[in-house]
Structure 1
Amino acid sequence: MITLLLLFLLIPQWALAQYTDEELYKAYLKGDVSLWKEYIEHSDWTALSQTEKERLLNYQYGYVAFAVSEENESAKRHLQLFAQHIEELSSKLNGAQLACYRSSLAAYEMSFNAFRKLMYANRAMAYANEAMRIDSLHPAALTLKANIDMYCPKAFGGNKERALRYFLLAERRFKELHMTTHNWNYRALQLCIAQCYEKTGNKKQAIEKCEQILQEEPDFSYISDTYLPTLRGEPVNKKVGIGNVSNIANSVL
């Protein structure tokens, strides 16, 4: 009886141990959405430590971006959970990171509120600016600001050249802070850099960036199978997966 009780108590910890950052990172590279979904849905939020909650929130951030961009049926449910978890951790998160999450939440909300799209767009931009005011060298704040600059129309303040500068600074900050190992945010940022090179008319640099990424991570399937062949004018494998969600649901912005 005691043995069974101990086994029961250990099940949650054992289950979470199956979702290491390395495994979730490899899933990102392969475009495997299912593993992220399993990790998020199998985690008992109330039983997690503060550190584990912050970790889970980061994966929710990425998964919701994919679900919203693909109009996934569970997107609304995951979006609501993401919003609840942000507010629960609001007094404990780094201020710049909190503003980034709130900005992304507003961006995701646009997909479900067509008549209030402008309001949510303004909210997303306001939180992005707040993140930069709090910490202008925070990697997530720089990446977020750059994404908005890249996808926002020029008439509304978008600036692709400025976006590229922010992206490159964010990449440098990730490296300086030693935040590159098994970090999907870092790889997503590097994809953003390649996309920004393309959007600023520097296709050669975009190709070179993709080649650099693949030297480091040959399994990044969205780049190897879809994006790089597209840049080169070659046949593509249009695989749907989480690897092509750059960071804050760029298809939403």
Structure 2
Amino acid sequence: MERKTNLIIAFLLLICFGLPRNLGAQKEDSIFYKSYTTTNMEPWKKTMEKMAEELEPGNYKQLFEVTLAWYGYIGYCLGNDKEREARQYLKSGWQFLEQLEEMPEAGAAPHALKSGFYGFEMALARYKAVIFGPKSLSALKEAAAIDSSNVHYLVEKGNQMYYTPSVFGGDKETALRHYEKAVKTMEAGGKYQQKHWFYLNTLVTLGHTFEAAGYLKQAREVYHKIQNLEPDFKWFNEEVWPDFVKKYGYE
């Protein structure tokens, strides 16, 4: 009887202190994914702010997840004419990112995100490109020097090559190679599985880049893959796919 009681206590302790962190992370990822696919971003905002309030000092993983959530939300704001809100969250996002870079666990990913944050700054004030452009490139070089196979480096390098005008070194073919490698890396295993917003967003970016580069067959294949993966993807179903069909037909 005593042994049974001890086992029950041990199990309850495991539930109270061992499981919530992993289950919490899964729950947060699920909320972000649903927000991304339904375009209802209010739960995303509330969740990321709660995560920030509950940050444990020195916990790199938690801080990274908060910073990534900020990154995603700022991108949403910029894509939906919410510049004022984007500025607000970019300011606090920089604070998280600066802490992240100083931690001993910091690898390539924080430097890659830093490049993305500079991209946000340029999107909010294009005249500052002469200041933030070189800083963004420098952050990418730092990320590449640490780990050029990191998915965040690959995505941000793809973004840099896609959005930089060709006269200044931009190249959609190079962007494609980086996006493709990022997707393959995520599909090979690790954190960003099929039900993660960052994976799905990278797939959309890959399809769009194939389309922009004139590889319509490959773009269509990626878009069909997205449809099979997430049939209820609101933004994709209402904008991305209809725009493609309008230009190039269903098949």
- Fold conserved between structures, TM > 0.5: yes
Alignment of 1:39-118 (within 5 A): 39-45=47-53, 47-48=55-56, 50=59, 51-72=61-82, 73-92=84-103, 93-118=105-130
Q: 1:121 to 1:71 in 2, by over 3 A?
A: farther
Give 1:23 shift: 2.0
Aligned partners of 1:83 and 1:125: how far apart in 2?
17
- The higher radius of gyration belongs to 2
Give 1:141 shift: 0.5
Query: Which one has a larger percent helix, Structure 1 or Structure 2?
Result: 2
Opposite residue 38 of structure 1, the aligned amino acid is K
Aligned partners of 1:164 and 1:115: how far apart in 2?
27
Q: 1:112 to 1:147 in 2, by over 3 A?
A: closer
Please identify, of 204-213 and 147-156, the stretch whose mean Cα deviation from structure 2 is larger. Answer: 204-213
| 1:153-190 residue CA offsets vs partner (Å, 9 max, x unmatched) | 10111111111111111111112233314321111110
Opposite residue 78 of structure 2, the aligned amino acid is V
Alignment of 1:173-192 (within 5 A): 173-178=185-190, 179-192=192-205
Opposite residue 161 of structure 1, the aligned amino acid is E
Give 1:133 shift: 2.1
Gaps of 5+ in 1: 1-12, 235-253
Opposite residue 138 of structure 1, the aligned amino acid is N
Residue in 2 that maps onto 1:33: 41
- Contact 1:143 1:167 survives alignment (8 Å): yes
Alignment counterpart, residue 127 of structure 1, candidates 139, 161, 172: 139
- Contact 1:19 1:39 survives alignment (8 Å): no
| 1:69-121 residue CA offsets vs partner (Å, 9 max, x unmatched) | 43423222211110001111222253211111211111111244444222111
Residue correspondences, number: 221
Gaps of 5+ in 2: 1-19
Identity %: 25
Opposite residue 68 of structure 1, the aligned amino acid is L
Give 1:47 shift: 4.1
**Where does structure 1 differ by over 4 angstroms across 4 or more consecutive aligned residues?**
16-19
Q: Looking at both structures, which has the greater relative contact order when contacts are Cα pairs under 8 Å and sequence separation is at least 6?
A: 1
TM-score normalised per structure 2: 0.80
Aligned partners of 1:170 and 1:17: how far apart in 2?
22
Give 1:147 shift: 1.2
| CA RMSD, 1 decimal | 2.3
Opposite residue 216 of structure 1, the aligned amino acid is L
Aligned partners of 1:223 and 1:205: how far apart in 2?
17
Residue in 1 that maps onto 2:7: none
- Contact 1:64 1:79 survives alignment (8 Å): yes
Please identify, of 159-168 and 118-127, the stretch whose mean Cα deviation from structure 2 is larger. Answer: 118-127
Please identify, of 64-73 and 50-59, the stretch whose mean Cα deviation from structure 2 is larger. Answer: 64-73
